[in-house]
Amino acid sequence: MPHPAMSPNNVAVITGGASGIGLAAATHFAAIGMKVCIADIGTERLAEAGARLASVAKGGAADIMTASVDVSRFDEIAGLEAAVQKRFGGTDILMNNAGIGPDSNSFGPLENWQRILAVNLWGVIHGTQAFAAHMVERGRPGLIINTGSKQGITTPPGNPAYNVSKAGVKAQTEALQHELRNIPGCRITAHLMIPGHVFTALTARGRTEKPPGAWTAEQTVDFMIARIDAGDFYILCPDNDVPRQLDERRMLWAAGDIVENRPALSRWHPDYAEAFARFVKES
């Protein structure tokens, strides 16, 4: 059965909603008759996305709201929540999805670390702080969906600031769901979205055609909705290259670094290459 929050005339708010997974989710919600607010940066991008959503929304432009919001600023997120209440009466689905991924390493650039954490982690915290209590108070079924990453679980080398931000999103979302389920009468649930390789503006890196191994944003959203309907908290998305079974082995190996006292990130350590390959084949 579809989750009751995903019903006509209910309200979805999506940060990072002008492109990629956010826009795909907004398009789905608009097409099933929901009222949708997308928050993002870039006036032109927002206008284009808003027009696209209005073309599929049951109520046209009247059911679509766009807002220029920097999620790293709590005052802007709080203003967004108030504006949605004024326009649509409240929020049934909050998707904290805004994310960026400039390059980083442990030695810098400092500004990249600061911006990644401000958007990817603090944006999720700000969204939760501004929206969650009001969503609970309404007494209606609702969803808070936070976009994490497999990189926040296996923490591969290459962009530690991004990994740290998404590891924080995982921890925050787990804590949020624990707290929500311990509020008497609460009908809001939190969910951690863990995309696979998805072809979006963030991951394209100059490419104009989708790589064969990647999923589209629409495929990813379809999977997300199916798993929410099934009651999953961890929405672990496969893609055309990596099935769930391989993700599971990679995640188990990463946890095993601690349990077995292996070197940090041993999956990428030459001394452990054969052992990791054997471990994957054991699945």
Active-site residues: which are they?
Answer: 162
Q: Phi and psi for 196 in degrees, rounded to 5?
A: -90, -145
| 205: helix, strand or coil | coil
Question: How many other C-beta atoms lie within 10 A of the C-beta of residue 242?
Answer: 15
> Rounded to whole angstroms, how far apart are CA atoms 235 and 213?
19
- How far apart are alpha carbons 153 and 81 in whole angstroms? 30
Answer yes or no: are the C-beta atoms of 85 and 137 closer than 8 Å.
Answer: no
Task: Take residue 112 and report the two structure tokens written for it.
Answer: 């990249």
Q: Report in angstroms the alpha-carbon separations of 181 from 89, 187, 258.
A: 24, 8, 30
Q: For residues 216 and 223, what is the distance between their CA atoms, to the nearest angstrom?
A: 11
Question: Pairing state of beta strands 142-147 and 11-15?
Answer: unpaired
Q: How far apart are CA 275 and CA 112, in angstroms?
A: 35
Residue that is written with structure tokens 């009751």 in the block: 4
Q: What is the Cβ-side half-sphere exposure of residue 159, based on CA atoms within 13 angstroms?
A: 16
Q: Which two tokens stand for residue 195?
A: 């995309």
Phi then psi for residue 32, to 5 deg, are -95, 10
Name, in order, each residue with C-beta under 8 angstroms of 175's C-beta and a sequence gap of 6 or more.
none
